Structure 1
Amino acid sequence: MERLKMHSPNLTQDNIARIRDLFPGCVTEAKGEDGSVKLAVDFDQLRQELAESIVEGPQERYHLNWPGKREALLAANAPIAKTLRPCRDESVDFDTTKNLFIEGDNLDALKLLQETYLGKVKMIYIDPPYNTGNDFIYEDDFSVTTDEFLKRSNQKDESGNRLVANTMSNGRFHSDWLSMMYPRLKLASRLLRDDGIVFVHIDDNEVDSLGKLCTEVFGEDNFINIITVKTKVGGVSGSSEGKSLKDTTEFIWAFAKNKENLQLNPVYIKTKLSDRIRAYEQEGKSWKYTSIITKLAEKFLIKEDVARGVRFFGYKTLETMSIQAFARENKLTEDAVYDQFADKIFQTTNAQSSVRLTTMRETANIDVPMVGCEYKPIKGRNEGSVIEVLYKGEQRRMMMFLSDAVQRIDGSYYYLDKVSSLWDDIEYNNLTKEGDIEFPNGKKPIRLLQRIIALTTTDDDLILDFFAGSGSTAHAVMQQNAEDGSNRRFILIQLPEKCDQEEFSKISDISKERLRRAGKQVLEETCKEGWRQDVGFRAMQVDTSNMADVYYAPDALDKAKFDLFVDNIKPDRTPDDLLFQVMLDWGVNLALPITKQSIQGKDVFFVDGNALAACFDASGSIDEAFVKELAKHQPLRVVFRDAGYKNSAVKINVEQIFKLLSPATEVKCI
């Protein structure tokens, strides 16, 4: 319920609204004296609207700008003194999984991942708040300097209170939404591989602003597609009835990190062949595969190009007939003909391919009903295999066989349509059942996400979603891996946003539980051979730094309390916590296997064998004998706590010991 204003009208805003009615392009958004975003008049543009000649004004240029843009960029670049703390009890297969789930503010999490995952993510998919007037957006604090930002981030963790209501009363300002999205996309772009790609899901409220923002972050030349997704049959709300068309679509902007290096995988929509033929008939379309080869004989060699590995053939005999006639003659149904003779059923086309043009030139004086070109494609579905493409008649029309357009699955043929930028075949109903968990803010179908995953990733590629929601992206990764035998990995980030569900208090808890249930479901189904069946995840939480305040500002230490400086770790932090902050700082993959060994009674962590060795013993008993024993493992990196050394002489000699016994080891302490 809205409150009464209890004050006189704001005449300025009323006047601006009137100007907007007359000159929409002259009203923009600007920050008021109190820092809030309000409507304002672009007087230079208004002067031009009212002038009969060009008026003087600021230099024109094509760019995207809004109040708060510079502050948003500062927020993207400002350092933070935070860390990721492991949550073993909330994880699945913590010690062996390659997947990560991070609970916390995604702006902080993206900053923390910069060292470790710079240029290593193949695909990013996000489904951010849509700026509908009924959702929430992140409230980033842009009012402090970089130094203040760093200092404060060590003192306070506000990740649970980072959302503000984006109500209709604030006018659904674009500026607030752009300021929220800009720093996150900037940081995400740095994580993408050079052949990587990002997909951003949105509705029509911010589709235009999002396109401009992505163009600024990734570059106009790296635009791939805007995918239109049919989400429902429904209509508009009562207040909009008669004022707009029925809203049945959402959109996905796709941008590459470097379009020149991007290679999309062929992905097809599969429809049962009989259903596809009948759908054509019902829609009044012409079904092209209506003829069958009944005889093709007397093949002879026309020419061979040994250097290029190409041969051209001719066929003196060719006989064809219609599917209907063939079915009658052989007493078969047309469905049976399609099912048994897909490799002989064809249509022809004048495709202007280089292969066809070469074949026309090399066989120009050969008078036969059919010619063929045999070669080995260097790309596409037949890459590396010798194939023969046939061309019919004097016009050398290329033969397209039904067998190349269908796939046999469980004894039935399915027609393959190469996926386009219109996705209207994905079911959006009954999504509450997916993942065996309810989600209040709307799920995305795993079929949609599987299509994106199959289109852009293979093998061990890394996939990132930093608006994780219910965890649909991770579910889709596991399902797609199970179906094609790949071992893709995921990183999910979700704010611990409060929710009203009886079973869960935070959306991040819903995400983790869905991952647990979905993993079990995937393993219960048929899994393709070669998949390592990784349905686990390492749960981690964004938190303040493990280091005490004095670690960042030793000059501020009261000399009378100098003993505090010896142990500069916060008292509630565990060796696990310290290990992962060290891994972040050193840029070590957070999903590498971790083991723990006892050396001379002290616990030592080994990450991925010898990638990193860490001893966080604080008993003051680390001596040269222990250091020499550890050096025998020849780790690439080793770290100790300052409080662990027996005396200052041992600390001084550590580097010398490693130089003698393991010269490649990099030694540090905290």
Structure 2
Amino acid sequence: MPEPEKLDLRSHDIAADKRAELLRLFPEIRTEGGKLDFEKLRLALGEAVDMGRERFGLTWPGKAECFKAIQTPSLGTLRPAPEESVNFDTTENLIIEGDNLEVLKLLQKSYLGKVKMIYIDPPYNTGNDFIYPDDYSESLRTYLEYTGQVDAEGKRFSTNTDTDGRFHSKWLNMMYPRLYLARNLLREDGVIFVSIDDTELANLMLIMNDIFGEENQLAIIAWEKRFTRSNNAKLFAKVKDSIVAYRKSEAVQKLREARTEKSDEIYSNPDNDPRGPWTSVSFVNPATKEERPNLVYEITNPFTGKRVIHPTNAWKQEKEKAEQYARENRFYWGKNGTYEYPRLKKFLYEVQDGVVPVDLWAHEATGTTDEGSKTLDDILGKDIFDNPKPTRLIHRMLGIVTKGGTEPEIILDFFAGSGTTAHAVLELNKQDGGNRKFILVQLPEPVDPESPAGKAGFKTIADICKERVRRVIQKLNDEDAGKLDLEGQKQDRGFRVFKLAESNFKVWDATAPKDAESLAQQLELHVDHIREGRSEQDILFEILLKSGFALTTPVETRALAGKRVYRIADGAMLICLERALTLEAIRAMAAEKPARVVCLDAGFAGNDQLKANAVQTFKTAGVASFKTV
């Protein structure tokens, strides 16, 4: 009898899809070991490959290691923490506590191409705010040591000082793999915003061009982060930061932000046009008559009857279009026809989809760091977190990129800090009835016990983030208490907390000694390969994540033939983690007609006949995939 397929939950090769596509297109490049022969690929591509020795590009010490970090599968998992969550069973928002490199790897399969907008405010590499793993090949181990989940001689996360000979290289090594993995999560019409100061702006632009493509650069926005100036600076006072914006692809063709009173000031109605307020633009073309002879013709001033033609330049559109504008009273000749040449009316009602964003954001519209601090002080107490971004800054990005309708739109921030992004998402959803969802990732960086945050009882920055979002949710709920829900749509005001940890399944140590005693010890450890202390819920969410389901996928618990079975996404998959399976339970699961079934290997307790019957039963029922873990 055939065996069920074994589901390996300890690895996820993010490059497998690309390798498979190359092998499909160029089967001749496959080696005996199933790997790729790049010399044969170069020959197959022929002239399409640039073999020149001098190419424009970006390199630095450690870039090759970045790709190793990207391609090394994570051996971690995300353990649910319902006790720290708000509305765990119903919410679709996430706050994940962990090293964002490992978390981004774990999110690849479930959230690939699903994120509408990313905003990050990473360390600016000022010399004292930069935490990173020293060795990417041991990033999970480093994190577990750092958070005290495993024993270690010392914590291996540290600051990056400007006396280090590889000061900029280390920052690039930290940022590159995270941005690379983040790009995979964006939708084709997705946009990413990255806050930065002058220290690493140039280097950030280079790696963004490398990862996203220079053609997808949208803007380098200058944000006025403060409007008061100190005279203490010796050279220039720093009053702005930059926000770098890129799109995922050319699917983003048009961006608009909401109109404001200021943007509408230019519209008026001096001639009482029944179509409402308007402004006017020149109808004279910058091109000369010689350059655009097809746009040279006479236009009649209806007030004076005079036929005019510009002495040197052409008009902006062809004669037929100008005649249409004249019939529709779209030309403005000034009061009583005093203008020498016509101007074209642009009506306010024609531009209600918004205004084109600009790359200069003044503090009046987006707030300052002082405003961000005041907001957080009001929520958590004074000086709990340094220099948080104002929520109005995130509002503006969300207003440009997201629609605010009933369609869910995922917003990701993997340098979450105090949780400003979640705060902004919740506020904006209340304002426009939107259905935006947030995913925050924050390292549990310890708080100094003697700092205001430490004295307030916070142990980590991740704790600050979670508590801020809890209090924002409570505040919004209090404001809405007693109000009628006229829209019939309940706001999602909650979040699920997950924490990075080692996989629930023990990993075979390939580096262990190969003597008989060591091998016997490893085999004994894997008789029951589930780690001690792990709950059924821990295992359930790891299976969901590695099977490509979002961490907020609806899960229904059913009793089938006396066994607990988890019904995933309206029956798309069934998961049974019972350790004593029966043929009756297997038949009951098959009768549900799921596409996939996952069971514990221990559930068969070495009963090969029962396992063989399960394979046949599910196959007969049309189950496409039956796996054991």
**425-434 vs 187-196, which deviates more?**
425-434
1:619-662 deviation per Cα after TM superposition (whole angstroms, max 9, x unaligned): xx21111100112222222111111125221112112111222x
Shifted more, 544-553 versus 602-611: the winner is 544-553
1:74-89 counterparts in 2 under 5 A? 74-89=68-83
Does the aligned pair in 1 maintain the 2:562–2:585 contact within 8 Å?
Answer: no
- 1:124 is paired with a residue whose SS is strand
Q: 1:427 pairs with 348, 367, 381, which one? A: 367
CA distance in 2, matches of 1:625, 1:513: 47
Q: Secondary structure at the match of 1:116?
A: helix
Other-structure match for 1:348: 280
* AA in 2 matched with 1:348: S
Alpha-carbon distance in structure 2 between the residues aligned to 1:603 and 1:575: 11
Deviations 1:46-70 (A, max 9, x none): xxxxxxxxxxxx9543222211111
Match of 1:229 among 215, 220, 223: 223
Determine whether 1:254 maps to 2:245.
yes
Aligned 8 A contact 2:142 2:156 in 1: no
Whole-Å separation in 2 of the counterparts to 1:364 and 1:528: 57
- AA aligned to 1:251 is S
Q: For 2:524 and 2:93, how far apart are their aligned partners in 1?
A: 40
Gaps of 5+ in 1: 1-57, 278-287, 297-342, 354-359, 371-387, 408-415
Structure 2 segments unaligned to the other structure (5+ residues): 1-51, 149-154, 286-293, 305-327, 334-339
Q: Which of the numbers 202, 205, 208 marks the counterpart of 2:199?
A: 205
The amino acid across from 1:109 in the alignment is V
Q: Which residue of 2 aligns with 1:549?
A: 507
Q: 3-state SS of the aligned residue for 1:170?
A: coil
Post-superposition offset of 1:563: 6.2
Partner of 1:115: 109
Q: 1:587 aligns with which of 517, 523, 548?
A: 548
Alignment map for 1:554-593 (pairs within 5 Å): 558-559=519-520, 565-593=526-554
Tell me which amino acid in the other structure corresponds to 1:601. G
Moved more, 107-116 or 542-551: 542-551
Q: CA deviation at 1:365?
A: 7.4
How many residue pairs are counted as aligned between the two chains?
Answer: 511
8 Å Cα contact 2:110/2:548 also seen in 1: yes
Q: Does 2:600 correspond to 1:655?
A: no
- Selected match of 2:565 from 571, 583, 604: 604
Larger radius of gyration: 1
Deviation at 1:85, TM superposition (A): 0.6
1:137–1:165 Cα contact (<8 Å) kept: yes
1:470 is aligned, of 418, 423, 437, to 418
Residue 209 of structure 1 deviates from its aligned partner by: 0.9
Give the AA of the match of 1:536. G
State the partner residue of 1:411: none
Q: 1:398 pairs with 338, 341, 344, which one?
A: 344
CA gap of 1:189–1:561, structure 2 versus 1, over 3 A, is closer
Q: Tell me the secondary structure at the aligned position of residue 62 of structure 1.
A: coil
Matched, 1:635 2:625: no
| CA 1:561–1:234: 2 relative to 1, 3 Å | closer
Matched, 1:61 2:52: no
Which of 151, 170, 173 aligns to 1:176? It is 170
How far off is 1:468 after superposition?
0.5
Structure number with higher strand proportion: 1
Aligned ranges 1:25-174 → 2 under 5 Å: 60-142=54-136, 144=137, 149=138, 153=141, 158=146, 161=155, 163-170=157-164, 173-174=167-168
TM-score (norm 1): 0.69
User: In the alignment, is the contact (CA less than 8 A) between 1:157 and 1:543 conserved in 2?
Assistant: no
Contact 1:350 1:397 in 2 (8 A): yes
Shift of 1:263: 3.9
How far 1:486 moved relative to its partner? 1.9
Specify the SS of the correspondent of 2:131.
strand
| Alpha carbons 2:161, 2:167 under 8 Å: kept | no
Q: Is 1:521 the counterpart of 2:521 in the alignment?
A: no
Match of 2:441 in 1: 493
Q: Tell me what 1:484 maps to.
A: 432
- Looking at structure 2, the residues matched to 485 and 215 of structure 1 have their Cα atoms a distance apart, in angstroms, of 35
After superposition, the Cα gap between the structure-2 partners of 1:530 and 1:272, relative to the gap in structure 1 and judged at 3 Å, is farther
The answer to whether the 8 A contact 1:201-1:250 is kept is yes
**Separation in 1 of the partners of 2:133 and 2:143?**
18
Pair 1:199–1:246, CA change in 2 (3 A): same
* Aligned residues of 1:132 and 1:172 also touching (Cα < 8 A): no
Letter in 2 for 1:292: P
Determine the structure 2 residue equivalent to 1:37: none
Residue 347 of structure 1: how far off its partner (Å): 3.7
Q: Is 1:448 the equivalent of 2:389?
A: no
Rounded to whole Å, the distance in 2 between the matches of 1:627 and 1:97 is 31
Structure 1 position 138, deviation (Å): 1.1
* Corresponding residue number in structure 1 for 2:257: 267
1:354-401 per-position Cα deviation (integer Å, ceiling 9, x unaligned): xxxxxx99997777469xxxxxxxxxxxxxxxxx78323495522245
Residues 159 and 495 in structure 1, CA contact (< 8 A), matched pair in contact too: no
Aligned partner of 1:571: which letter?
A: E
Cα deviation digits, residues 145-176 of structure 1 (max 9, x gap): xxxx59x8599554565631233443781111
Distance 2:522 2:71 in 1: 34
Taking the aligned partners of 2:478 and 2:510, their CA distance within structure 1 comes to 50
Structure 1: which amino acid aligns with 2:119? Y
Structure number with higher relative contact order (C-alpha < 8 Å, ≥ 6 residues apart): 2
CA deviation profile, 1:286-336 (whole Å, cap 9, x unmatched): xx657622477xxxxxxxxxxxxxxxxxxxxxxxxxxxxxxxxxxxxxxxx
The offset of 1:95, in angstroms, is 1.3
Partner SS for 2:194: strand
- Mapped to 2, the partners of 1:627 and 1:665 lie a distance apart of 15
- Name the counterpart of 1:533: 491
User: RMSD of the TM alignment (CA)?
Assistant: 3.4
Matches within 5 A, 1:613-624: 613-618=574-579, 621-624=580-583
Secondary structure of the corresponding residue to residue 187 of structure 1: helix
TM-score (norm 2): 0.74
Cα pair distance change 1:522/1:389, threshold 3 Å: farther
Of the candidates 271, 287, 290, which is equivalent to residue 293 of structure 1? Answer: 271
Secondary structure in structure 2 of the residue aligned to 1:520: helix
**Superposed CA offset, 1:436-484 (max 9, x none):** 1254232111111011112112331211110000111111112222222
